[in-house]
Chains A and B, each alone.
Chain A
């Protein structure tokens, strides 16, 4: 058993990933202080997604593991995106009306 999946990642890679994640955190904070208008959310979520990819790929070993795990997790992400787009299509194509809130 041990020989097959013990292709452990070098320690240096883990530390480099942490440094990359910290730098991206600083970039998010700095980017939030600049007003990009409607792009604010897109930029913040974009940087978060880069960070998430690093965590998934290296800390959670998806890059090195059986692709099956990625298919399972990717399914959840796919349905989440589907949920978002269908909700947006519904809510933002409605006839404008007064909202009681």
Chain B
């Protein structure tokens, strides 16, 4: 350990791990445990959605007419592409290609930004109509007269997409952190655990949207 190490920012595994390999697998296992809790959190909301959807199919259908499936499909494509670029950034980290790793991380960030911009337009359109969740619901169109509990669809819509949107923002923050460390030259084939773990988080965000898109925009 005391031999001169000329490589800048060479990562050394923490002293409580036997080896770098041990550290890598422990970090990833921890990440997967966290992802399991994420699935349980979103899963509770999605199970609630499916059950109420089975109870009030006509009301959910009326509610989903306000969600523009074209914008939902656009966001689906954007997130799927961002998942690819995230996977590619890990691929290039393993290949010691810092430039391409960073390029793919920037593209992931750009896709995340596009996703949020589209979401902003969707939200502002709904809130403008008074289609807000719960007690803030103030829409008085014909659908509201037909279905007295129409606000329920929008409570689910805003809870699910809102929680997902918060995850996108947090994911962007973590990607930015990885980009900064990447610029410092900390990652390469010897060490890329943070890129890998942030990648796992980002793919999970994509995974959840894969379920939210048909549930909220299509089958209502």
Contact = CB atoms under 8 A, between A and B. Distances in A.
B170 interface: no
B113 interface: no
A40 B219 contact: yes
A40 B57 CA distance: 11
B50 A84 contact: yes
A98 interface: no
B168 interface: no
Nearest to A79: B40
A73 B32 contact: yes
A81 B152 CA distance: 23
B190 A55 contact: no
Contact of A41 (B50, B86, B149): B50
Nearest to B39: A76
Contacts of A69: 28-29, 32
Q: How large is the interface on A (under 10, 10 to 19, 20 to 34, 35 or more residues)?
A: 35 or more
Q: How large is the interface on B (under 10, 10 to 19, 20 to 34, 35 or more residues)?
A: 35 or more
Interface of A: 1-2, 4-6, 8-9, 11, 14-15, 17-18, 21-22, 25, 28-29, 32, 40-41, 44-45, 47-48, 51-52, 55-56, 58-60, 65-66, 68-69, 72-73, 75-77, 79-80, 83-84, 87-88, 91-92, 99, 101
20 contacts: A1-B24, A9-B91, A11-B88, A11-B91, A14-B84, A25-B76, A29-B73, A32-B214, A40-B219, A41-B53, A45-B214, A45-B215, A47-B214, A51-B210, A52-B207, A55-B203, A60-B203, A60-B204, A65-B28, A72-B32
Given A1-B19, A45-B211, A83-B47, 12 more contacts: A6-B189, A14-B84, A14-B88, A25-B76, A28-B218, A44-B214, A52-B211, A55-B207, A56-B203, A59-B87, A69-B32, A87-B47
The 7 residue pairs across chains A and B that have the minimum distance between CB atoms: A76-B36, A32-B218, A44-B214, A80-B43, A76-B39, A1-B20, A69-B32
Interface of B: 19-21, 24-25, 28-29, 32-33, 35-37, 39-40, 43-44, 47, 50-51, 53-55, 69, 73, 76-77, 80-81, 83-84, 86-88, 91, 94-95, 148-149, 152, 189-190, 199-200, 203-204, 206-207, 210-211, 213-215, 218-219
